[in-house]
A and B are shown apart, each in its own frame.
Chain A
Amino acid sequence: AQSVTQLGSHVSVSEGALVLLRCNYSSSVPPYLFWYVQYPNQGLQLLLKYTSAATLVKGINGFEAEFKKSETSFHLTKPSAHMSDAAEYFCAVSRGLRYSTLTFGKGTMLLVSP
């Protein structure tokens, strides 16, 4: 069974500081991994995805994530936080080759202070 663990339900940073949101996965086969962002009272927006083409994946809004097989991690980073980055972030792993479903972590709320 595939699962995702997000360390830290809340992460607080100052505007301009580095953002690091942690995600570890368990999978018996090479996974497809995704990061989504959810703003209050909205659906989920795809930030980036890993599908084995490159270990460092760049996404929207300046976010990127690095796939590390040895650590079974897919942490999300952004060099400089902006107030507009405040939202909840979900890491997800795709299960199934043809009829894929997403298994989500519990989410990390990113708080950005001025």
Chain B
Amino acid sequence: DAGVTQSPTHLIKTRGQQVTLRCSPKSGHDTVSWYQQALGQGPQFIFQYYEEEERQRGNFPDRFSGHQFPNYSSELNVNALWLGDSALYLCASSLVGGQHEQYFGPGTRLTVT
């Protein structure tokens, strides 16, 4: 049973560029959430997708957008990258419902120069 997978593992971008990160959820899961983890900090919630719609959103600007596909996989897009966007981006999958634990992927390390 494959867990949550993310690609790429590492990414280096220049300020102003755009980036797309990808996530495949754990088999059987229908909900995908994205988190940003800055160095030395706990993960911060970006947004959550269920049934191909954004259901919850954290305090992140519109430069952060996402998508969920019919097979439940998801993308995170960030436009006009800032230096401050450098972080570990974590994808988590779960079943819909607050009592269900979220399973995390290994993350994508984004460096903006």
Contacts and interface: CB of A to CB of B under 8 A. Distances in A.
Interface of A: 32, 34, 36, 41-46, 49, 51, 90, 92, 94-107
A29 to B, nearest CB: 10
Contacts of B94: 100
Interface residues of B, number: 30
A94 B97 CA distance: 10
Given A99-B96, A100-B98, A106-B42, A46 B103 contact: yes
B103 A101 contact: no
Interface of B: 4, 31, 33, 35, 41-45, 48, 50, 55-56, 58, 90, 92, 94, 96-107, 109
Given A103-B45, A104-B42, A43 B104 contact: yes
Contact of B104 (A45, A96, A103, A106): A45
Contact of B106 (A42, A46, A92, A103): A42
Given A100-B100, A104-B43, 17 more contacts: A41-B109, A43-B105, A43-B106, A43-B107, A44-B43, A44-B90, A44-B92, A45-B104, A95-B98, A96-B98, A98-B96, A99-B50, A100-B98, A100-B99, A101-B58, A102-B35, A102-B45
Contacts of B97: 97-98, 100
Contacts of B35: 102
Most chain B C-beta atoms within 10 Å of own C-beta, residue among A42, A96, A99, A107: A99
B90 A43 contact: yes
Contacts of A99: 31, 48, 50, 55-56, 96
